[in-house]
Amino acid sequence: ASIFAAVEMAPRDPILGLNEAFAADTRAEKVNLGVGVYYDDNGKIPLLGAVRAAEKTRLEAMPPRGYQPIEGPAAYNGAVQNLLFGKGSELATSGQVVTVEALGGTGALKVGADYLKRLLPGASVYISDPSWENHRALFESAGFPVQTYAYYDAATRGVNFAGMKASLEAAPAGSIIVLHACCHNPTGADLSDAQWDEVVAACRNRGLVPFLDMAYQGFADGIDADAVAVRAFSASGLQFFVSSSFSKSFSLYGERVGALSIVTASKEEAGRVLSQVKRVIRTNYSNPPIHGGAIVAAVLNSPELRQQWEDELAGMRDRIRAMRTSLVEQLKAEGVAQDFSFVIKQRGMFSYTGLTAGQVEKLKADFGIYAVSTGRICLAALNSKNIGYVAKAIAQVVK
Ligand code: PMP
């Protein structure tokens, strides 16, 4: 018999399944709000002008394709540190932060999780309730038991901060706490600056190990404003992990560009930690691919391209915000009595709309509008052409 004869079919990824169903839908007016990707007003994934310029230069240079350092190039890792911790900041200059290039935010989480399993083999991992669905799978596959901490409050469509704090205070010392640094996926509900200070204090008091996941820097208020959580932990003197991604902020999804940063207590400690993280990388994929990181480094290290990128990022951010406001206004105009203004307060690409699984099903069946059954929608999939149709459809299903 085949060695695969008894292999069972793995459960379908719910969001990828949604995309397949969407692709098979023949209705011209169909809309996919289930994705986690930024589309422009024409419904296209943008290729940023700053990326285009850097790629043109690189193509003309025709550089050779040797192996990269295991941790990625210094020009890239330094640029990542400047974005996360602030240019010229103590952490970006002290040498106490280990930064390695990784295959997107997912790759950064995976390298971090594998390294943490070697460092803290008996720890538990806590993720928010709810969280990006891959968080649990990633940390479980690294060998950790994964629990949740209270996070979303369905009544206010915001954060249940008292519950979150109580969860953190009840977690055993040495537990790893995965925190969404900004633009919480899937809810869109973020902590305030003051609440971040309280989370830092709870991590300090309880001896917890913070792991910040920063997949959407620049999608809420701006590069520095969205780094508030990273900066609060930076000021604390605690050790912590940060996974970061350029998938969204550079619209480079398929190039797999991200980084893992580990804040240690000293430059000397950082040297030893880096040597161990390199072993994890070496036995996984040896060293990162060249292209995506080279483009990001070229943009971030050139004053002109950096400015162009920031302007383009602001354009994406502003368009999402405009869609939030417009959706709320159009729902009102359609005569929806329910107050949807929370959609304007939620941040980043997503909103937990409060639509029930039944209403989501009806949107799909009656209108060809696809959303996640939890009621999560991607605001960046709305545009000036489809928003009126979506608002009318939502109005119909909630009435
Ligand atoms: N973390 C969160 C919270 C995310 O939403 C995502 C992407 N959807 C990632 C990590 C992974 O990002 P990447 O695509 O760069 O692997």
List pLDDT tens digits, range 44-75. 999 999 999 999 999 999 999 999 999 999 99
Reference 378, options 34, 41, 44, 14; nearest CA is: 34
Measured in Å, residue 215 CA sits from the centre of ligand 1 at 5
What's the average model confidence in pLDDT over 89-101? 97
At 12, the pLDDT band (50, 70, 90 cuts) reads confident
248 is catalytic: yes
From the list 114, 190, 213, 226, the catalytic residue is 213
Task: Determine which residue's CA is closest to atom 1 belonging to ligand 1.
Answer: 215
Q: From CA 8, how far away is CA 234, in angstroms rounded?
A: 46
What's the average model confidence in pLDDT over 270-293? 98
pLDDT at residue 213 above 90? yes
What DSSP assignment string belongs to 137-164? Answer: HHHHHTT--EEEEE-EETTTTEE-HHHH
Measured in Å, residue 363 CA sits from the centre of ligand 1 at 26
pLDDT, averaged across the chain: 97
List pLDDT tens digits, range 314-367. 999 999 999 999 999 999 999 999 999 999 999 999 999 999 999 999 999 999
Provide, rounded to the nearest whole percent, the portion of the chain with pLDDT above 90: 97
What's the average model confidence in pLDDT over 181-203? 97
pTM: 0.97
From the list 132, 226, 309, 364, the catalytic residue is 132
From the list 117, 248, 278, 364, the catalytic residue is 248
129 is catalytic: no
List pLDDT tens digits, range 98-140. 999 999 999 999 999 999 999 999 999 999 999 999 999 999 9
Probe target for ligand 1 pocket from 213, 242, 372, with the most ligand atoms within 8 Å of CB: 213
> What pLDDT, on a 0 to 100 scale, did the predictor assign at position 13?
81
Please state, as a whole number, how many other Cβ atoms lie within 10 Å of the Cβ of residue 280.
20
Peptide bond before 303: cis, by omega within 30 degrees of 0? Answer: no
Provide, rounded to the nearest whole percent, the portion of the chain with pLDDT above 70: 100
Residues with beta carbon inside 6 Å of ligand 1? 36, 104-106, 132, 180, 185, 213, 215, 245, 247, 258
309 is catalytic: no
